[in-house]
Structure 1
């Protein structure tokens, strides 16, 4: 059975689709949604496409350190 299906054969929504749905439910602006999706995409790619549910504080710290040192992203942006 493919990795992205339930046991009953129905498709599971993808991570970014779930994020978009949650942001829309909370009435975030489209611009904010795009930025959040972009940051999550960067985080996942930084960790070689691992799912965020498999990661914890160490991975978040590593990503933020990368942004501060190599990505030259300001602390206010990281917050």
Structure 2
């Protein structure tokens, strides 16, 4: 893994201290790193809100990102400025909002699901069926224990580990 700057190491450490999920940490670091590179490797403490506006506008106008993607980048930068640099962003940022329409999720037919499940390695079949049938998240299913299954009521008890991230 390529080494990152001491600043990004510090940001990573702070997010893990605050118990952010691993994927949230990775995503926020991606956007913070992209923001720094966009501004020619200038340190975020030397950048103002207008630079945040420029970056978010660039994402919408030049990169044509979806609304949710732009919002995710904004959340990452909001965390950076509020929690790391102790300079919260104002509520009246002036950037062009993305207009890319939201994609509808792909829904598979029952036959497509059956064909898909037939192709899965038998060692992972139960996990795949559990994910599909219960709506569990991947890590919830991986961490599932027999004690969490109520066979009388045909239900599963899922313990919420973290609500942050």
Q: TM-score, normalised by structure 2?
A: 0.39
> Whole-Å Cα distance in 1 between the matches of residues 58 and 35 of structure 2?
10
Answer yes or no: is 1:70 the counterpart of 2:91. Answer: no
Q: 2:24 aligns with which of 15, 19, 32?
A: 32
RMSD of aligned alpha carbons: 1.2
Larger radius of gyration, structure 1 or 2? 2
Q: How many equivalent pairs are there?
A: 67
Q: Secondary structure at the match of 2:40?
A: coil
Q: In the aligned structure 2, how far is the partner of 1:37 from the partner of 1:17?
A: 10
> For residues 75 and 57 of structure 1, what CA distance do their matches in structure 2 show?
20
- Which residue of 11, 15, 28 corresponds with 2:7? 15
Deviating above 3 A after TM superposition, structure 1's stretches of 4 or more consecutive aligned residues are none
**Cα distance in structure 2, aligned partners of 1:21 and 1:51:** 18
Q: TM-score, normalised by structure 1?
A: 0.79
Taking CA–CA contacts closer than 8 Å with sequence separation of 6 or more, which of the two structures ends up with the larger relative contact order? 2
Unaligned runs of 5+ in 1: 1-12
Residue 52 of structure 2 is aligned with which of 60, 68, 71? 60
Q: Is it true that 1:44 corresponds to 2:36 in the alignment?
A: yes
Q: What SS does the corresponding residue of 2:15 show, helix, strand or coil?
A: helix
